[in-house]
Structure 1
Amino acid sequence: MSHSPIDRTAAWEVLAGHAGEMRKRHLHELFEDSQRGRTFTRKAAGLTLDLSKQRWSEATLERLLDLAREAGVPEAIEALLAGERVNVSENRPALHTALRLPSDASLVVEGEDLVPGVHATLAKLEAMVERFHTRQWRGATGHPIHDVVNLGVGGSDLGPLMVTHALADYRPADAAHIDVHFASTMDGSQLVDYLSRFNPETTLFVISSKSFTTIDTLSNARTARDWLLSRLVRDGNGGVDEAMVMRQHFIGVSAKPEKMSEWGIAEANQLEFWEWVGGRYSLWGAIGLPIALVVGMAHFRDFLAGAHAMDRHFAGAPLADNLPVLLALAGIWNVNFLDIRAHSILPYDGRLEYFAAYLEQLEMESNGKSATHDGREVAYSTCPVLWGQLGPNAQHAFYQLLHQGTQPVVCDFIAPLRRYDDVAEPETREHLKSQHRLTLANCFAQSRLLMLGDDAIDEPGERPGHKRYRGNQPSTTLLLDRLSPATLGALIALYEHKVYVQATIWGINPFDQWGVELGKQIAGETEEILANHAGGEHMDASTRALVAAVWQAEADDASRDER
Structure 2
Amino acid sequence: MEKDKRYHCARQSKYWQQLQKLAMRSWSLASLFEKDDTRAARFSTQAGSLYMDYSKQCVDEEVLVSLLGLADSCDLSERIDALMQGAMVNTSESRAALHTALRLPETASLQVDDQDVVSDVHYSLAQVARMSERIRSGTWRGFSGKAVTDVVNIGVGGSDLGPLMAKTALDEWADTSVNVHFVSNMDGTQLDNLLKYLKPETTLFIISSKSFGTVDTLSNAKTALSWLLATAKLRSGTEDSVLRRHFIGISANNEKMNAWGIHPEHQLQLWDWVGGRFSLWSAIGLAIAVRIGMAGFKELLSGAHNMDTHFAEADFADNIPVLLGLLAVWNSTFLQVNAHTVLPYDGRLSYLPSYLTQLEMESNGKSVTLHGERIDYDTCPILWGEIGSNAQHAFYQLLHQGTQQVSCDFIACVRRYDGPLKNTSLQQQHELSLANCLAQSRVLAFGNRAVADGKVDTGVVTDKCKFYRGNQPSTTLLIDELTPYSLGSLIALYEHKVYVMASIWDVNPFDQWGVEMGKQMADSVHHAMQHERKGRFDKSTEQLLQHIKQLS
CA contact (8 A) 1:2 1:71 kept: no
- Kept in 1, the 8 Å contact 2:249–2:266? The answer is yes
- Counterpart CA distance in 2 for 1:186 and 1:25 is 46
Residue correspondence of structure 1 range 505-520 to structure 2 within 5 A: 505-520=504-519
| Aligned mate of 1:29, from 14, 28, 31 | 31
1:18 aligns with 22
**Structure 1: gaps spanning 5 or more residues:** 555-563
Q: Which residue of 1 aligns with 2:111?
A: 108
Q: 1: CA distance between counterparts of 2:6 and 2:210?
A: 36
* 1:205 and 2:199 matched: no
- What amino acid is aligned across from residue 543 of structure 2 in structure 1? A
Distance 1:94 1:82 in 2: 10
What are the within-5 Å matches in structure 2 for residues 460-471 of structure 1? Answer: 462-471=461-470
**Aligned twin of 1:445:** 439
For each residue in 1:239-272, what CA deviation from the matched residue of structure 2 results, as whole angstroms up to 9, or x when unmatched? x211111110000000111111110000111011
Alignment partner for residue 337 of structure 2, among 335, 340, 365?
340
Question: How big is the shift at 1:5?
Answer: 4.9
User: What is the distance in 1 between the residues matched to 2:351 and 2:477?
Assistant: 17
> 1:96·1:281 contact (CA, 8 Å) conserved in 2?
yes
Find 1:40's aligned residue among 40, 43, 49.
43
| 1:196 paired residue number | 196
Q: 1:282 to 1:461 in 2, by over 3 A?
A: closer
Matched ranges for 1:44-83 at <5 A: 44-83=47-86
**After superposition, where does 1:109-508 map in structure 2 within 5 Å?**
109-172=112-175, 175=176, 177-233=177-233, 235=234, 237-238=235-236, 240-422=237-419, 424=421, 426=422, 429-457=423-451, 462-508=461-507
On the 8 A contact 1:150/1:207 being kept in 2, the answer is yes
Matched letter for residue 230 of structure 1: A
Partner-residue secondary structure (3-state), 1:544: helix
TM-score of the superposed pair, with normalisation by structure 2: 0.97
Question: What is the CA–CA distance in structure 1 between the aligned matches of 2:478 and 2:247, rounded to whole Å?
Answer: 40
For 2:465, what is the secondary structure of its paired residue? Answer: helix
Alignment root-mean-square deviation, CA: 1.3
List, as ranges, runs of 4+ consecutive aligned residues in structure 1 with deviation greater than 3 Å: 1-6, 458-463
CA 434–55 in structure 1, closer or farther in 2 if over 3 Å, else same:
same
Deviations 1:40-62 (A, max 9, x none): 11111310111111000011100
In structure 1, how many angstroms separate the alpha carbons of the residues matched to 2:362 and 2:298?
A: 27
User: Displacement, 1:6?
Assistant: 3.2
2:8–2:75 contact (8 Å) kept in structure 1: no
Deviation at 1:423, TM superposition (A): 5.4
Give yes or no for contact 2:10–2:71 (8 Å, CA) kept in 1: no
**SS across alignment from 1:476:** strand
Question: Could you tell me how far apart the structure 2 residues matched to 1:65 and 1:5 are?
Answer: 14
Counterparts of 1:532-543 in structure 2 under 5 Å? 532=531, 534-543=532-541
Q: Is the 8 A contact 2:8 2:74 kept in 1?
A: no
What is the DSSP-based 3-state SS (H/G/I as helix, E as strand, rest coil) of the residue aligned with 2:91?
A: coil
* 1:422 shift after superposition: 2.1
Distance between the aligned counterparts of 2:431 and 2:536, measured in 1? Answer: 61
Offset at residue 25 of structure 1 (A): 2.9
| One-letter identity of the residue aligned with 2:85 | A
Percent of aligned pairs with the same amino acid: 53
CA distance in structure 1 between the aligned counterparts of 2:332 and 2:354, rounded to whole angstroms: 20
Q: Distance in 1 between matches of 2:222 and 2:216?
A: 10
Q: TM-score, normalised by structure 1?
A: 0.95
CA shift for structure 1 position 2:
9.1
Question: Is contact 2:7-2:75 (8 Å) kept?
Answer: no
Aligned-partner SS, 1:76: helix
CA distance in 2, matches of 1:538, 1:250: 39
C-alpha separation in 2, matches of 1:405 and 1:387? 16
What is the alpha-carbon distance in structure 2 between the residues aligned to residue 481 and residue 34 of structure 1? 25
- The code of the aligned residue for 1:519 comes to G
> Contact 2:9 / 2:504 at 8 angstroms: preserved in 1?
no
> Could you say what secondary structure the match of 1:89 adopts?
helix
